[in-house]
Amino acid sequence: MARAANNSNKSRVSYLVIGGEAEGQRLDNFLIGHCKGVPKSHLYRILRSGEVRVNSGRVDAAYRLRVGDKLRLPPLRLAAREESGGEAARRQIALPVLFEDDALLVIDKPEGIAVHGGSGVSFGVIEALRQQRPTARFLELAHRLDRETSGILLIGKKRLALTALHDMFRAHGAGADKRYLALVKGRWLKATQHVKAPLHKYLLDNGERRVSVRADGKAAHTIFRLLVRWPTMSLVEAQLKTGRTHQIRVHLAHLGFPILGDEKYGDFTLNRQLPKQGLKRMALHAWRMAFRHPLSGAPLECVAPLPTGIRSAIAVADAASEREFSADNLDRILSQ
């Protein structure tokens, strides 16, 4: 692991020497894990400004650390508030395990929980896991899910496994086969639809991140399959062929089928009515992932059961009107 080369008090410049446990890790991910209590936005600001140095030189956030690298860290700003009792209790939230061995942990992330602390929250899934498993020597996120999204999340338990998982996710379509379920507004008509709409990231005046379809954006490809259709809403499966920020949410909104409960890209008037119908969350769930084990290469498939909130919304829709369309595999999906 990294060791301090001098006093690491966050009120002054500090230096760290990278050890074997951090080899191959992205600089931004290392800082997020190492600098507890420092807002993520502040960490990215000091990275962009060049205040973080590696071997006396400037590097970007994607730099991969090597054993022996010497990091210079400027004075760091801690979060202004202490963790409340309620937040401390939420660190003990149940994180159902879908698969685990010496190299890999796969959990079913609940909705409403960030995958890591920062950007206005003091803790996330990875911090909760580390607290729940105090003897674990290594736990690092292999990828991310939006705070509002539930479902399958992979965590590396060894550096070699984590590096292999990162390589797998960078390969996109050639790596993991990731499938999501989304309840959307409107009558979806096509059985299968490929969406190849480039995505552009930008910031609002308040610093909040947003994404839009724009010709000069990065290539993005999602395959949607219709599973169930009612008169006013549909359940679709989304298969990611690229892994852009908010990709499924923005592609669906762009098509005119926003995800129910999506507070960034959804139908805000409709969203206010959804809690009365039993839906109090964004209806997006990472339900299935097929991939090869990062060390053994053995094929794995993990399935996260459809959450109660989305099941309830489907039950309400069934009670209100007949299904206009139902794919053969829907019962299998709902029975997981």
Burial of 134-148, coded b for 16+ CB within 10 Å and e otherwise, reads eeeebbbbbbbbbbb
Report the alpha-carbon distance of residue 128 to residue 123 in Å, rounded: 7
pLDDT tens string 251-298: 999 999 999 999 999 999 999 999 988 899 999 999 999 999 999 999
- Map residue 260 onto helix, strand or coil: coil
Contact 238, 179 (CB under 8 A): yes
pLDDT tens string 209-232: 899 999 999 999 999 999 999 999
pLDDT of 15 over the 90 cut? no
> Thinking of the domain 176-335, which architecture would CATH place it in?
2-Layer Sandwich (3.30)
Tell me the pLDDT band of 174, cut-offs 50, 70 and 90: low
pLDDT of 148 over the 80 cut? yes
Chain mean position to CA 156: 14
pLDDT of 6 over the 90 cut? no
Q: What percent of the chain has pLDDT over 90?
A: 54
pLDDT of 57 over the 70 cut? yes
- Domain 90-156 fold: Alpha-Beta Plaits (3.30.70)
Chain mean position to CA 262: 15
Closest C-alpha among 68, 14, 76, 21 to residue 44: 76
What is the pLDDT at residue 232? 93
- Kindly report the CATH number that applies to the domain delimited by 3-73: 3.10.290.10
pLDDT tens string 287-306: 999 999 999 999 999 999 99
Angle of CA points 175, 302, 148, to nearest 5°: 90
Report the alpha-carbon distance of residue 241 to residue 194 in Å, rounded: 10
State the catalytic residues. Answer: 146
Report the alpha-carbon distance of residue 33 to residue 124 in Å, rounded: 11
* Distant-in-sequence, close-in-space partners of 312: CB < 8 Å, separation ≥ 6: 278, 279
**What are the boundaries of each domain within the chain?**
3-73, 90-156, 176-335
Region 88-117: mean pLDDT is 86
Closest C-alpha among 138, 116, 140, 143 to residue 127: 116
Tell me the pLDDT band of 181, cut-offs 50, 70 and 90: very high
Closest C-alpha among 245, 205, 239, 244 to residue 222: 239
Contact 230, 317 (CB under 8 A): yes
What is the pLDDT at residue 9? 45
Contact 183, 311 (CB under 8 A): no
Tell me the pLDDT band of 157, cut-offs 50, 70 and 90: very high
Torsion sign over Cα 128, 132, 137, 143? negative
**CATH topology identical between 3-73 and 90-156:** no
Report the alpha-carbon distance of residue 223 to residue 195 in Å, rounded: 6
pLDDT of 139 over the 70 cut? yes
Query: What token pair was written down for 82?
Result: 């202490």
